[in-house]
Amino acid sequence: ASSAGLFGFGKLTDYCSSKFAAIGLHESLTGELKQMKKHGIYTTVVCPSFINTGMFHGVSPSAAVVPLLDENYVCDSIVDGIRRNKRMIILPPHNVLFYMLKGLLSDECADRFIEFTGAAKAMDTFVGQK
């Protein structure tokens, strides 16, 4: 999936909605496996923010809040999470806090928070992979 499946962003409607769907599929599949008592089968969904692969060329994330992630760091985190049977891997880790806050804040506060972090404008300079 992606962090875009945890937070909806303008200029990414189609991308975010597909990632929200991937997270929902993961939750449903995990629940089904549990109900079927399929012990020993684990599922992991991965929700990284922007990865430095060229896919998001031109994106201008706020370095502190939405850093461009190193692909080796992401790979290592995924392998570690799978080995520990983590259900969800959110990268960078501080996005877990943002995800939790999103559910606690009013819509107006959440919108202001996104504006404050600069995340709402990250796609303004996006040109894509060349």
Residues classed as catalytic: 15
CA distances from 118 to 14, 21, 61, 108, 121 (A): 21, 25, 7, 16, 6
The residues, ordered by sequence, that sit 6+ positions from 11 with a Cβ below 8 Å of its Cβ are 123, 124, 126
Looking at the DSSP bridge assignments, the partners of residue 91 are: 48
Nearest Cα neighbor of 44 from 78, 93, 88 is 88
Q: In this structure, what token pair is assigned to residue 69?
A: 């992630």
Q: What distance in Å separates the CA atoms of residue 42 and residue 29, rounded to the nearest whole number? A: 10
